[in-house]
A = this chain, B = another copy of it.
Amino acid sequence: VRRAAKKPVAPASRLTPIASPACELCSQPGGTLLYRNRSLRIVQVDDADYPGFCRVIWNAHVREMTDLKPAARARLMHAVFATEAAVRKVCAPLKINLASLGNAVPHLHWHVIPRHSDDAHFPQPVWGTRQRPSSPLRPAAAAALRAALVAALAPAVK
């Protein structure tokens, strides 16, 4: 019996552009991994000023929310709000800041940032002028915070 001919490889124009070689969110996790599924991942950002700062990153290389189909958009926002809920539970912030910017890295990612009245930039955005020094967490407290975020996220994200 002769084998069927190999299927031709799809031309490049037919492939979904899921990764971009030069993009740092295609080639690196973007933080310490807290949760991951096929569509997205949630990481903790390495920022000594903001220990509970999380990022929700869409796995595929997509530029804008309105480039996603509505169902995918809803899936991403569900994860963003689950992350907000987990960060509120663990960090009890005065305010949550949410942002999808991506000027330097145009690959969809959401910042979920717990803000406190005595944090480094409050009431400015974290990208604004620093208002005061901040005290980084001790390693044991940082590890406990990470464990608490993982535990709070697990049941919330689907």
- Residues on A lying within 8 angstroms of B by beta carbon are 63-66, 73-74, 77, 81, 84-85, 88, 94-104, 106, 115, 122-125, 127-128
- Partner of A97 from the list B85, B103, B115 (CB cut-off 8 Å) is B103
B103 near A81 (CB under 8 angstroms)?
Answer: no
Q: What are 14 A-B pairs at a CB distance below 8 A?
A: A64-B84, A65-B81, A66-B81, A66-B84, A73-B81, A96-B100, A97-B100, A97-B102, A99-B101, A99-B125, A103-B115, A103-B123, A103-B125, A104-B123
A63 near B104 (CB under 8 angstroms)?
Answer: no
Copies of this chain present: 2
A123 to B63, CA, bound (A): 15
A98 to B84, CA, bound (A): 16
- Distance of A108 from chain B, by nearest CB (Å): 10
Lowest 6 CB-CB distances: which A-B pairs, in order? A99-B99, A103-B123, A125-B127, A98-B100, A127-B128, A97-B101
